[in-house]
């Protein structure tokens, strides 16, 4: 039987290096690799093709995913899953490597319960919000894109004695904003996971401005726009009216999803896929997620991944507490 690879949900840098390693490694193991296009929708619509070396040549440096992705409502209906299974049977595929998030893993887990298709899930999301793993594929590239953008915005802010409010992605998780604030030397970090006091922050900033500070960098997570936090626009208004400093907002948006994958994301993509393929070839029944925890790879169950909500490590949160008061 053959092995397929698919990408599901939000795209991220590192997916293409994973696809290339998958194809190269399958051929090395004398296994027939297949590319499943358009994620779960592609399973239903039979967008499944045998892979060749030519398909993946020269894609290591490309962001996104050459086999594209999707979010599928149809796949959660049994009749469409049955159609997807029949498509796989037609191609002789009984094993899948899926790069995505916990929703994608749940979909494949149900697929296995229905039809016995084995799979290994590889965490791939810039949000880095999957429980059970310290690292998700793509987050390192996203952080480096944020760093580059923040450094550039800081340059112009310092030239005009301005404040800048930079909004990062991350859904309800503040990981990107937190790490970026620490590593970019921000003065303020607003994320859903940390309590903050604008009055205390304001007192601190006014003293620093009196002592010569010429600009302010504030990094805020997008989750604050639909939580009880102070959002990006409110922070701009507060900095201008309460602190008395001209302020500009920069919403980075989907630029964080793309870009040239970093060396670390490329290396981890190769390691993830190698372990995943070996697991599928070794185990008769496999419904695991491959995670990177405490600097080690391990396979865990989808039930464990779904058992709790991801929380940012307390040591990381401690590094940013000085930025919230």
Tell me the domain boundaries of the chain: 2-138+261-305, 140-257
Band of pLDDT at residue 118, cut at 50, 70 and 90:
very high
CATH 3.40.50.450 assigned to 2-138+261-305: yes
Q: How far apart are CA 157 and CA 216, in angstroms?
A: 8
Q: How much is the pLDDT for 101? A: 95
Q: How much is the pLDDT for 229? A: 80
pLDDT digit string, tens, across residues 6-46? 999 999 999 999 999 999 999 999 999 999 999 999 999 99
Q: How much is the pLDDT for 79? A: 98
pLDDT digit string, tens, across residues 165-216? 999 999 889 999 999 999 999 999 999 999 999 999 999 999 999 999 999 9
Tell me which architecture the domain covering 140-257 has in CATH: 3-Layer(aba) Sandwich (3.40)
Region 231-259 average pLDDT: 96
pLDDT digit string, tens, across residues 298-319? 999 999 999 999 999 999 999 9
Give the mean pLDDT of the chain.
Answer: 96
Q: Which of 11, 94, 102, 127 is catalytic?
A: 127
Q: How much is the pLDDT for 76? A: 93
Q: How much is the pLDDT for 258? A: 94
Q: How far apart are CA 117 and CA 208, in angstroms?
A: 60
Q: How much is the pLDDT for 88? A: 98
172 among known catalytic residues: no
Q: How much is the pLDDT for 317? A: 97
Q: How much is the pLDDT for 13? A: 97
Region 261-268 average pLDDT: 98
Q: How much is the pLDDT for 53? A: 97
* C-alpha triplet 166, 170, 175: angle, nearest 5°: 85
Q: How much is the pLDDT for 315? A: 95
Q: Do residues 246 and 163 make contact, with C-beta atoms less than 8 angstroms apart?
A: yes
pTM across the whole model:
0.96
Place of tokens 């304001």: 202
Band of pLDDT at residue 1, cut at 50, 70 and 90:
confident
Q: How much is the pLDDT for 196? A: 94
Q: How much is the pLDDT for 108? A: 97
pLDDT digit string, tens, across residues 54-110? 999 999 999 999 999 999 999 999 999 999 999 999 999 999 999 999 999 999 999
Query: In sequence order, what E strands does 30-187 have?
Result: 33-36, 48-50, 93-100, 118-123, 163-168
The continuous run of DSSP H or E covering 108 comes out as: helix 102-115
HSE (CB half, 13 Å, CA atoms) of 289?
A: 30
């Amino acid at each position: 039987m053959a092995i397929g690879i698919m990408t599901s949900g939000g795209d991220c840098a590192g997916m293409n290096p994973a696809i290339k390693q998958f194809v190269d490694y399958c051929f090395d193991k004398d296994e027939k690799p297949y590319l499943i296009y358009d994620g779960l929708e592609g399973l239903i619509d039979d967008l499944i093709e045998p892979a060749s070396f030519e398909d993946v040549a020269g894609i290591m440096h490309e962001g996104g995913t050459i086999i594209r992705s999707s979010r599928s409502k149809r796949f959660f209906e049994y009749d469409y899953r049955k159609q997807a299974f029949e498509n796989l049977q037609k191609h002789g595929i009984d094993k899948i490597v899926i790069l995505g998030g916990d929703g994608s893993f749940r979909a494949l887990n149900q697929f296995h319960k229905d039809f016995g298709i084995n799979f290994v899930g590889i965490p791939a999301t810039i949000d880095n919000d999957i429980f059970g793993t310290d690292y998700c594929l793509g987050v390192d590239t996203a952080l480096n894109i944020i760093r580059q953008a923040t450094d550039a915005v800081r340059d112009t802010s310092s030239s005009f004695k301005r404040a800048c409010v930079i909004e990062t992605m991350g859904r309800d998780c503040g990981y990107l904003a937190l790490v970026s604030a620490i590593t970019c030397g921000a003065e303020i970090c607003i994320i859903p996971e940390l309590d903050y006091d604008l009055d205390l922050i304001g007192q601190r900033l006014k003293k620093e401005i009196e002592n010569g500070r010429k600009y302010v960098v504030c990094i805020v997570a997008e989750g604050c726009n639909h939580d009880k936090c102070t959002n990006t626009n409110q922070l701009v208004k507060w900095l201008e009216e309460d602190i008395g400093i001209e302020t500009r907002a920069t919403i980075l948006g989907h630029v964080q999803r793309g870009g040239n994958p970093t060396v670390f994301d490329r290396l981890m993509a190769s390691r993830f896929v190698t372990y995943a393929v070996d697991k599928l070839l070794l185990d008769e029944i496999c419904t695991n997620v491959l995670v990177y925890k405490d600097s080690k790879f391990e396979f865990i169950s989808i039930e464990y991944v779904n058992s709790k909500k991801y929380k940012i490590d307390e040591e990381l949160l401690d590094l940013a507490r000085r930025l919230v008061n």
